[in-house]
Chains A and B, each alone.
Chain A
Amino acid sequence: MNSLNLFQLLNGLTFAALLFVVASGFTLIFGLLRIVNLAHGALYLLGGYIGYAAALATGSFLLAVLAAMASVALAGLALDQGLLRFVRGFELRQVLLTLGVAFILNDLGLLAWGGDTFTVPVPEALRGALRFAGVFYPKYRLFVLALGLVVFLLLWLLLNRTRLGALIRAGVDDAETLEAMGVNIRRIFLVTFMLGAALAGLGGVVGGAFLTLYPGADSEILVFSLAVVIIGGRGSLPGAAIGALMVGLLNSIGQVMFPELAYFVIFGPMALILAFRPLGLFGRAA
């Protein structure tokens, strides 16, 4: 049986960083708007495809990221204003509606991009490997790790240090009072929804460069994100970070030790946590 070496540990950490980027968007929307957006995985894949197309067209990774984030945020706007507005306040109907949207996006993605696998091209500066502590490690994956940390920091600052963040947190606790104070709560929720969608788009481009894009990538990332949010607790940023770390590392361990049952390894701890904390590590009752 192989043991875990530094290389695999880093793989787990970088995967965790990507998971955090995607799952933080999911948990933001879930926690603040009470919407479980099962189309989140589809938005991830859509972002990846758009980023791939933009990267080929412009040759710039940065532009690809921006294009993906902007268009997926717009897709989020369309989803929220075009469909979800009709089922506001009905949690179950919202979930199943986004599930329907996920199926539609998934199928149309198959129609537009076919069953092939795409890899978003990585910029020149991030190609190749770095050598440290006796291992060669791809630069790009280290970049993903750094990006995960930056996103965490920015989101934390946004929620805890800005006026918008204060309004979002207030809206979670008591939307009615906030509205009575003259704040346009719908606009804040819409901004949050678009931000969460944009994070899925960002994840799509960044993940598309090392995990590749293919039909089915959407449901894989969705189930990983679900595990992250179930472990971490709804709407909690630290919860998403810790959940992503756990899922990323466990996935790495699983792939090394039980390659055929890797999926199973993330499920055990999730089950244990649920048995003791049904709302997740950082979850609070609604």
Chain B
Amino acid sequence: MPRAGPSLPRLGVALGVLLFAALPLVLPTYQVSVATRILVFSLLAVSIDVLAGYTGRTPLGHGAIFGVSTYVTIYWVTVAGGSPWAGMALGVLAATGLAAVFALLAVRTSGVYFLLLTLALGMVVWGVCLRWSTVTGGENGLRGSVRPAALASQVSFYYAVLALVLAATFLVWRLVRSPFGLTLRGIRDSESRMRALGYNVPLHLFIAFTLSGMAAGVAGAAYALFNEFVSPTTVSLAQSVQGLLMAIVGGVGTLFGGFIGAAAIIVLENTVSFYTERWQTVMGLMFVLLMIFAPEGVIGRGLALLRRRR
């Protein structure tokens, strides 16, 4: 039976929002910046989950889409001298455009091919950001104060990001709950059946991919204001992989799991980095273990045990 998707678990969401809203009241300043990072990457994980969870296509290029938005935002403010708000809008626009290009190429593929293609496209973006040094600053990247004066304090910035991420997540949730979202799930479960029913499968996938890229772009623009620095690392494969890891840890197809995944991974990264520089090894190890023991994700695994079905 097709379930209606994540109904808004009112109590859970209310508690989550309350928790995030209360965090700056109890946390020291440094921890508030960690919490801001968690919010930014939650949205990236949510955007990845739109594709991985609802269309059944796992993308490995969303780090590049996310990072292009960061690049454009920072470039607009530091090099072109524009306002941060316009920079963010342009960043999201650039990310959406890039996602549309990726989508055009990728919608006809599925499974492993989709993954490989998005990976290759993401690597192209990384290569361009690395080599096109007159614009991107090459390996040194771009740096500069991007954050508007109104959001200078850590706490006010946190609340602004919280509002942005919650609004974007709400829209994504509306999207996957809509008839359009149901069609996506239909495509995930049986592409041929949906085609036989007269649905334009490539068009649906194209729109889903582009909107998912737009959400990743919003996260990337917020990241620009948060980090005030961008380098090829931001668009690297590692970024895409980390985003996917968050989505998987949170549970593929749960949408809100992205928040839990992002929190888990970032807290873990901060803890691990305290003891060792080998975060990449830890991340790789987590991937290997997850794939062997809990490919549906930690949350998904828990739900599956609860539901006893599939």
Residues of A in contact with B (beta carbons under 8 Å apart): 36, 38, 83, 86-87, 90-97, 99-108, 111, 219, 223, 226-227, 229-230, 259-264, 266-267, 270-271, 274-275, 278-279
Closest to B286 in A: A100
Q: State the CA gap A279–B109 with chains docked (Å).
A: 8
Inter-subunit contact A274/B117 (CB<8 Å) = yes
Which residues of chain A have C-beta atoms less than 8 A from B117's C-beta?
A: 230, 274
Q: How far is the CB of A8 from chain B (nearest CB, A)?
A: 18
Specify which of A90, A227, A260 is in contact with B133 (CB 8 Å cutoff).
Answer: A260
Inter-subunit contact B295/A274 (CB<8 Å) = no
Question: A96-B291, A261-B132, A278-B109 known; A104 and B120 CB under 8 Å?
Answer: no
Inter-subunit contact B292/A95 (CB<8 Å) = no
Which residues of chain A have C-beta atoms less than 8 A from B278's C-beta?
A: 107, 111
Q: How far is the CB of B289 from chain A (nearest CB, A)?
A: 8
Inter-subunit contact B105/A275 (CB<8 Å) = yes
Interface residues of B in 284-303 (CB under 8 A from A): 284-288, 290-292, 295
Query: Could you list 16 examples of A-B contacts with CB < 8 Å?
Result: A83-B292, A93-B295, A96-B244, A96-B291, A99-B287, A103-B281, A104-B285, A105-B284, A223-B123, A229-B116, A261-B132, A262-B131, A263-B123, A267-B124, A278-B108, A278-B113
Q: Is B127 an interface residue (CB 8 A)?
A: yes
Q: State the CA gap A175–B156 with chains docked (Å).
A: 61
Question: A267-B121, A274-B117 known; A107 and B295 CB under 8 Å?
Answer: no
Inter-subunit contact A100/B288 (CB<8 Å) = yes
Residues of B in contact with A (beta carbons under 8 Å apart): 58, 60, 105, 108-109, 111-113, 115-117, 119-121, 123-124, 127-128, 131-134, 237-238, 241, 244, 278, 280-281, 283-288, 290-292, 295
Specify which of A87, A230, A260, A267 is in contact with B116 (CB 8 Å cutoff).
Answer: A230
Q: State the CA gap A266–B124 with chains docked (Å).
A: 9
Closest to B108 in A: A278
Per DSSP, chain A at the interface is helix
Q: How far is the CB of B51 from chain A (nearest CB, A)?
A: 13
Which residues of chain B have C-beta atoms less than 8 A from A105's C-beta?
A: 284
Q: State the CA gap A261–B133 with chains docked (Å).
A: 10
Q: How far is the CB of B268 from chain A (nearest CB, A)?
A: 15
Which residues of chain A have C-beta atoms less than 8 A from B109's C-beta?
A: 274, 278
Q: State the CA gap A270–B109 with chains docked (Å).
A: 14
Q: State the CA gap A123–B284 with chains docked (Å).
A: 37
Which residues of chain B have C-beta atoms less than 8 A from A271's C-beta?
A: 105
- B116, B244, B295, most chain A CB atoms within 10 A: B116
Inter-subunit contact A92/B115 (CB<8 Å) = yes
Q: State the CA gap A83–B286 with chains docked (Å).
A: 13
Which residues of chain A have C-beta atoms less than 8 A from B241's C-beta?
A: 99, 103
Q: State the CA gap A278–B285 with chains docked (Å).
A: 32
Inter-subunit contact B292/A97 (CB<8 Å) = yes
Inter-subunit contact B105/A264 (CB<8 Å) = no
- B119, B120, B241, B280, most chain A CB atoms within 10 A: B120
Inter-subunit contact B281/A95 (CB<8 Å) = no
Q: How far is the CB of A109 from chain B (nearest CB, A)?
A: 10
Which residues of chain A have C-beta atoms less than 8 A from B132's C-beta?
A: 260-261
Given A101-B288, A103-B284, A261-B128, output 8 extra A-B contacts at Cβ < 8 Å.
A92-B295, A94-B291, A101-B284, A219-B237, A226-B120, A226-B123, A260-B133, A267-B124
Q: State the CA gap A111–B113 with chains docked (Å).
A: 32
Q: How far is the CB of A98 from chain B (nearest CB, A)?
A: 9
Closest to B279 in A: A107
- A103, A106, A107, most chain B CB atoms within 10 A: A103
Specify which of B131, B244, B290 is in contact with A260 (CB 8 Å cutoff).
Answer: B131
Inter-subunit contact A274/B284 (CB<8 Å) = no
Q: State the CA gap A260–B121 with chains docked (Å).
A: 17
Specify which of A38, A86, A264 is in contact with B124 (CB 8 Å cutoff).
Answer: A264
